[in-house]
Structure 1
């Protein structure tokens, strides 16, 4: 059997309710034995189902069927983060660009993991005015290494990243943040807009 054949069989079992949301799937070893496949093929099966958003791994606990995507708004996606862990870190490229700093400049960083989301906030280590306006954009991509670690994701897992940069009245960038959400866990409502 190919990885695609086994992935199709497990997908069908999920779709028919044999494995319901929150239920644990058989281990990779059990899947290998049941379908007579290699270690590499079993890994490919689980990677495929993970990329499709059907399963999620919990470190040390196994692989589980993911709950259906939550319908949310941008405002709800960025809310609920209030107990940030703070430290000092080097500004990665996107933060340096947003804050108009050199890559690697020391910045204050706060982060928190909630459900299938990660919030990370970055600010220069200098006193800065309060922000009065912001720019934001959403990016769909594979999870970055730090996001994979904090959200316990496999390589290649799709995420939605909402980036925001905050500015003072005079246009000075004073803070950048990013909410990273597991792509398969959320459907984001962008609201209504006129046509034309």
Structure 2
């Protein structure tokens, strides 16, 4: 009997251990297997997935390499504490209070994590097409780029590339090769470009070589990419930020109030 093409296309061509890891990864990300919780035993996983002991162990090793679970052969394997993090984008527009650090650093500390930012570079460059479109620039136009790496507990968490129109950035602390005290919303407000609204475009993508190496990704897992454009109350775009984080470790939480 000939199998319909639609059924052929729908077949999961991944190896069994990859499929097992995918299902367990989803259990972890959804909270079905919360931090500190032991995974089912190898015998239970063999029964659930109809797999051999070796296949189950290969699946568990993938999750260990990703940093989602910990354990050793012959012992219980458990979900690592504080590995899945929820990002609340709305908080990024809030300036830090006087004498306080970035809001997201404070949020990370609430969960017992240590977070910091490494500034990778500050340069003038031609931006990618989506940033040019956001700013309404020509193909030849340049912008200021600030590249940063966010680390949580000394592990790479997010690659951040923030772009600014040159008429806003030149001759200001934005162009200095140093971190911005109090965060970018506070500085933009000080410069007369108070952030009023942001628009996020979120997509899951295959990591670029730079993202793979900088984030120390364990395999061919997707990255969660966000392009955030920040506007003033007058509707002027003053910042466009491309953020990439490991897709298996993070989720975004958006809150909406009906008008």
CA distance in 2, matches of 1:171, 1:64: 41
Paired residue for 1:119, among 139, 153, 160? 160
Whichever structure has more strand as a proportion of its residues is 1
Any conservation in 1 of the 2:207–2:223 contact (CA below 8 Å)? no
CA distance in 1, matches of 2:218, 2:126: 25
Matching residue of 1:159: 223
Any conservation in 1 of the 2:231–2:239 contact (CA below 8 Å)? yes
CA distance in 1, matches of 2:218, 2:132: 27
Matching residue of 1:142: 205
Matching residue of 1:98: 134
Deviation at 1:163, TM superposition (A): 2.5
Q: Give the total of aligned pairs.
A: 158
TM-score (norm 2): 0.47
- 1:30-51 per-residue CA deviation (whole Å, 9 max, x = no partner) reads xxxx96xxxxxx9xx89xx5xx
TM-score (norm 1): 0.59
Deviation at 1:140, TM superposition (A): 2.2
Deviation at 1:173, TM superposition (A): 2.2
Unaligned stretches of 5+ in structure 2?
A: 1-12, 25-37, 43-52, 69-79, 94-103, 106-115, 170-190
- 1:142-186 per-residue CA deviation (whole Å, 9 max, x = no partner) reads 144243332233675323333222234543322211332222111
Whose Rg is larger? 2
Any conservation in 2 of the 1:92–1:104 contact (CA below 8 Å)? no
CA distance in 1, matches of 2:39, 2:229: 40
Deviation at 1:122, TM superposition (A): 0.4
